[in-house]
């Protein structure tokens, strides 16, 4: 994943890249993905069907944003500003409402 550290997050594509990075981060640890699945009501099998959905990306980013510890862990691992995750969530949420 490319680093957005030096420039603002402003495109839907960049926001999707953040969401995909977050999905990989969450899926990499059973506790992290387990808490998201429990909160969302999804099963592991459901992930394949919804992983490309903009609404799923927004829900995933919401979960991360609401868990500051996870947000900071992800941002540190991805070497991005935590604010980029919030910006990605906003971009994807607004893109979905324009359809």
As given in the structure block, the two tokens for residue 22 are 């977050």
Helix 54-66 vs helix 30-40: crossing angle, to nearest 10: 110
Cβ neighbours for 64, distance < 8 A, ≥ 6 positions apart: 22, 26, 70, 71, 74, 85
pTM above the 0.85 mark?
no
In a domain, 7, yes or no: no
- State the residue for tokens 């993905």: 33
Residue 82: name the closest of 58, 98, 99, 66 by CA. Answer: 66
Give the range of the structural domain holding residue 33, as residue numbers without chain letter. 12-97
Question: Which 8-state DSSP code applies to residue 8?
Answer: -
Number of domains in the chain: 1
Q: 35-79, pLDDT tens digit by residue?
A: 999 999 999 889 889 988 889 999 999 999 999 999 999 999 999
In a domain, 4, yes or no: no
């Amino acid at each position: 994943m490319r680093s957005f550290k030096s420039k603002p997050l402003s495109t839907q594509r960049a926001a999707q890249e953040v969401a995909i990075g977050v999905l990989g981060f969450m899926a990499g640890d059973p506790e992290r993905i387990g808490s998201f699945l429990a909160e969302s009501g999804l099963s592991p099998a459901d992930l394949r069907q919804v992983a490309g959905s903009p609404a799923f990306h927004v829900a995933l980013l919401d979960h991360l944003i609401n868990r500051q510890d996870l947000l900071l862990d992800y941002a540190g691992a991805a070497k991005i500003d935590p604010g980029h995750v919030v910006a990605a969530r906003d971009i994807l949420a607004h893109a979905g409402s324009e359809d």
